Chains A and B, each alone.
Chain A
Amino acid sequence: MSSVDPSFNFDEDYEEAVTPQEVLQKMTTAWQNELCSPCLLPTQMELVDILLDQIAGMEEDIGKQVDQRQLRISVHRMELQRISFITSDYVRCRLRKIESNPNDAIETHNKRRDENKSDLLSEAELQFAREYAAAEAELFDKTVLEFMPPGPLKKVAFPLLDCQEDMVYAKVLGEEAGNVAVPDWKDLTGELVLEMEKSSCHLIPFDSVKEYLEEGTVQLL
């Protein structure tokens, strides 16, 4: 019944085609990680876009079917609702994090660009962050700052997000979660190094597993 092509390229850099199942699997992982992490993770908006296309295609196919009471129609509709939920929830979570500190999001995004790492925000998210920050600044100006005397008060550009002490539950997926550095609370100038075995779960500072998270060796719980 489905006329959707199961193989397509979602990124010009990749040579093999990626199946919709794999995209959905990656989206589920990204969603789980984003919900459990204390700060914004690099964007996976391409997955959302691909899935939205898939949903649109499938809805068109369903609409064309003659008998709308069949079991298979209900099953297809339910699957589309499930996929819509996961994509919406992912975007909702990211927007909530951007809104809590839009300037930090923009700053970190630019820093990552300078260091040649993958983007933190998608184009649309960056636009949203800028507009939200501007709107918030205008609100504070008009309601409070305009009425404050120019005085000796120093202005802080924007509050920095301090994720240094945030902890997460993490599970090791891959084999090589080799030497993980964890701050040594007995002597804060030093670090302890841990070995994390496959399938082990840890309660650990977020900073220690951030890189492994981006690689995909670790999953947040």
Chain B
Amino acid sequence: MNAERCEYLAGNVLIEVIPSISDEKPIHLISGDIGPFEAGVPCRVPMWTAILMKRKHNCKVVVPKWMEVDELKKLLASETENDGLAELPEHFFEISHMLVRNATDDIFEVEAVKSLIQDIYDRRDAKLRTSAIAFLSQNQTCHAQLDCVQLLETSSARATLNACKQVGTLVRNLHETTPM
């Protein structure tokens, strides 16, 4: 599991687009039905379809509510106040990254959006880093709870799993070689 595969999964999330073409017949995909499209009428499609249509200039993307500047400021505030991780929409970073890359013209105040998302990412990264170091520095418990962690973050933290395994082996060795 890595960032590219996370982006693949994020592709399945539904998003609203405003098509600029019309098509009476719905598209019957294996994963569900899309459409019919009517120019100017909002329609929900998977992210991957939205990006495809956007690239062919067949639609405008409606940016999700949580990606507006005010909402992002609220998320950043809750991330700052909380000691633990704040709750974020699923595939928060992947979706925002895909939209900034492909639909820049549909995002209002795109520079502010980019910088807020970067701040949120940095806050969370710092929390995960310090807690990983704290966890690896102890040998009392082999369990930790990290609610609201994103798939993208756990994919980047696979090295921690290897390190935990080594600590586990050391604890086992300690136990087995300690005279009762």
Which chain A residues border B147 with CB–CB below 8 Å?
199-201
Q: Mark interface residues in A181-214 (1 if CB within 8 Å of B CB, else 0).
A: 0110110100010100001111111000000000
Q: Mark interface residues in B73-105 (1 if CB within 8 Å of A CB, else 0).
A: 000000000000000000000000000000000
Q: Report the bound CA distance from A166 to B88 in whole Å.
A: 28
What is the CB-to-nearest-CB distance from B30 to chain A, in angstroms, rounded to a whole number?
A: 5
Question: Would you call A2 an interface residue if the criterion is a C-beta within 8 Å of the partner chain's C-beta atoms?
Answer: yes
Between B30, B34, B155, the greatest number of chain A beta carbons within 10 A of the residue's beta carbon is seen for: B30
What is the CB-to-nearest-CB distance from B57 to chain A, in angstroms, rounded to a whole number?
A: 11
- How many B residues have CB within 8 A of the partner chain? 47
What is the CB-to-nearest-CB distance from A2 to chain B, in angstroms, rounded to a whole number?
A: 4
Q: Mark interface residues in B32-49 (1 if CB within 8 Å of A CB, else 0).
A: 101000000000000011
Q: Is the CB of A183 within 8 A of B142?
A: yes
What is the CB-to-nearest-CB distance from B135 to chain A, in angstroms, rounded to a whole number?
A: 7
Q: Is the CB of A2 within 8 A of B28?
A: yes
Q: Is the CB of B169 within 8 A of A165?
A: yes
Residue from A36, A76, A188 in contact with B1 in the complex, judged by beta carbons closer than 8 Å? A36
Q: Is the CB of A1 within 8 A of B28?
A: yes
Residue from A79, A82, A165, A182 in contact with B143 in the complex, judged by beta carbons closer than 8 Å? A182
Stretch at the interface among B8-16, B64-72, B110-118, B119-127: B8-16
Question: Would you call B62 an interface residue if the criterion is a C-beta within 8 Å of the partner chain's C-beta atoms?
Answer: no
Question: Would you call A217 an interface residue if the criterion is a C-beta within 8 Å of the partner chain's C-beta atoms?
Answer: no
Q: Is the CB of A205 within 8 A of B148?
A: no
Question: Would you call A95 an interface residue if the criterion is a C-beta within 8 Å of the partner chain's C-beta atoms?
Answer: no
Q: Mark interface residues in A78-111 (1 if CB within 8 Å of B CB, else 0).
A: 1100110110010000000000000000000000
Q: Is the CB of B143 within 8 A of A21?
A: no
A-B contact count (CB 8 A): 121
Q: Mark interface residues in A21-59 (1 if CB within 8 Å of B CB, else 0).
A: 100100010001001100000000000000100110010
Q: Is the CB of A82 within 8 A of B169?
A: no
User: Taking A167-B168, A185-B139, A186-B140 as contacts, is the C-beta distance between A76 and B29 under 8 angstroms?
Assistant: yes
Question: Would you call B23 an interface residue if the criterion is a C-beta within 8 Å of the partner chain's C-beta atoms?
Answer: yes
Q: Is the CB of A82 within 8 A of B171?
A: no
Which chain A residues border B5 with CB–CB below 8 Å?
35, 89
Stretch at the interface among A67-75, A121-129, A135-143: A67-75
Between B21, B25, B27, B169, the greatest number of chain A beta carbons within 10 A of the residue's beta carbon is seen for: B27
Q: Mark interface residues in A1-21 (1 if CB within 8 Å of B CB, else 0).
A: 110100000000000000011
Q: Report the bound CA distance from A78 to B56 in whole Å.
A: 13
Q: Report the bound CA distance from A86 to B151 in whole Å.
A: 17
Q: Is the CB of A74 within 8 A of B165?
A: no
Which chain A residues border B140 with CB–CB below 8 Å?
185-186
Which chain A residues border B155 with CB–CB below 8 Å?
221
What is the CB-to-nearest-CB distance from A181 to chain B, in angstroms, rounded to a whole number?
A: 11
Q: Report the bound CA distance from A148 to B75 in whole Å.
A: 66
Question: Would you call A168 an interface residue if the criterion is a C-beta within 8 Å of the partner chain's C-beta atoms?
Answer: yes
Q: Report the bound CA distance from A166 to B53 in whole Å.
A: 43
Q: Mark interface residues in B160-171 (1 if CB within 8 Å of A CB, else 0).
A: 110011001101
Q: Is the CB of B145 within 8 A of A200?
A: yes
Binding site for A on B (CB under 8 A): 1, 5, 8-9, 11-12, 21, 23, 25, 27-32, 34, 48-49, 52-53, 56, 58, 135, 139-149, 151, 154-155, 157, 160-161, 164-165, 168-169, 171-172, 175
Known: A75-B29, A205-B168. 9 other contacts (CB 8 A): A36-B1, A72-B25, A79-B29, A85-B8, A165-B165, A169-B146, A192-B143, A221-B151, A221-B154
